């Protein structure tokens, strides 16, 4: 036998293959560890705006400056077609005239003249046409939170089971003295 690096000889070589075969990672576990927290984080951010409109939102009339049909999205990963509605309104608490836009599905009727808008005072870009809600984000957030609570409950149950098994093993070992 040869002497390896540092003068130590390798006498035994154990394969890790049996251990690897016993503990195959689950695809569902990988999903829960990576995708579920990411989904929770993204849906939290997107649902935040819905909450802000619900709590801080104001409603006023706005003048439609123009409606443009966009055939290609600026965000290539989103894709799709939409209506871009530009409007101007007065922010009552600050007294400023704001000129903003909202992106609507093509199924919406083309607004003309004046429209009702919801806005958050003092927040540029924080406005939308009344009725243009994104409830899917809020629903996704609620589902993600419920899933996280269930997953944490299952994790807690498994941890308690492991502690009980360890305590039972130790109690059994103490009762039967080794010879």
Determine the average pLDDT of the residues in 50-66: 93
pLDDT at 18: 53
Lowest mean pLDDT among 14-28, 64-78, 86-100, 117-131: 14-28
Name which residue leads in pLDDT, 145 or 16.
Answer: 145
Cβ neighbours for 37, distance < 8 A, ≥ 6 positions apart = 148
- Distance between CA atoms of 85 and 111, rounded to whole angstroms? 8
- Residue-range domain boundaries for the chain: 26-56+134-174, 57-133
- Distance between CA atoms of 173 and 175, rounded to whole angstroms? 6
What confidence tens digit (pLDDT) does each residue in 79-104 have?
A: 678 889 999 999 988 889 999 999 88
Q: Are strands 114-119 and 96-104 parallel, antiparallel or unpaired?
A: unpaired
Distances (CA, A) of 68 to 29, 110, 112, 128: 46, 9, 12, 16
Can you give the pTM of this predicted structure? Answer: 0.63
Lowest mean pLDDT among 17-21, 95-99, 144-148, 169-173: 17-21
* DSSP letter assigned to residue 78: T
- How many Å separate Cα 78 from the centre of its chain? 17
Per the CB < 8 A criterion, the answer to whether 120 and 127 are in contact is yes
Lowest mean pLDDT among 57-61, 67-71, 112-116: 67-71
pLDDT confidence tier of residue 23, bands split at 50, 70 and 90: low
pLDDT at 105: 87
What confidence tens digit (pLDDT) does each residue in 113-131 have?
A: 999 999 999 899 899 999 8
> In three state form, how does the secondary structure of 90-152 look?
EECCCCEEEEEEEEECCCCCCCCCEEEEEECCCCCCCEEECCCCCHHHHHHHHHHHHHHHHHH
Per the CB < 8 A criterion, the answer to whether 39 and 144 are in contact is yes
Determine the average pLDDT of the residues in 1-26: 53
Is a pLDDT exceeding 60 seen at residue 17? no
pLDDT at 59: 94
Lowest mean pLDDT among 28-32, 46-50, 89-93, 117-121: 28-32
What tokens were used for 162?
Answer: 């492991």
Domain 57-133 = CATH 2.40.128: no
């Amino acid at each position: 036998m040869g002497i390896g690096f540092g003068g130590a000889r390798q006498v035994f070589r154990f394969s890790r293959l049996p251990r690897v075969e016993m503990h195959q990672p689950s695809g569902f576990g990988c999903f829960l560890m990576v995708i579920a927290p990411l989904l929770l984080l993204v849906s939290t951010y997107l649902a935040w705006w819905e909450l802000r409109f619900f709590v801080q939102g104001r409603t006023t009339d706005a003048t439609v400056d123009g409606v443009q049909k966009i055939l290609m999205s600026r965000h290539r990963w989103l894709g799709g077609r939409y209506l871009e509605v530009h409007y101007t309104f007065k922010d009552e608490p600050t007294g400023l005239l704001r000129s903003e836009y909202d992106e609507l599905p093509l199924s919406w009727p083309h607004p003309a003249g004046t429209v009702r808008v919801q806005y958050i005072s003092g927040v540029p870009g924080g406005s939308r046409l009344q009725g243009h809600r994104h409830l899917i984000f809020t629903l996704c957030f609620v589902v993600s939170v419920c899933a996280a609570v269930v997953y944490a409950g299952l994790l807690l149950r498994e941890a308690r089971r492991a502690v009980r098994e360890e305590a039972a093993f130790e109690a059994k070992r103490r009762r039967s003295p080794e010879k």
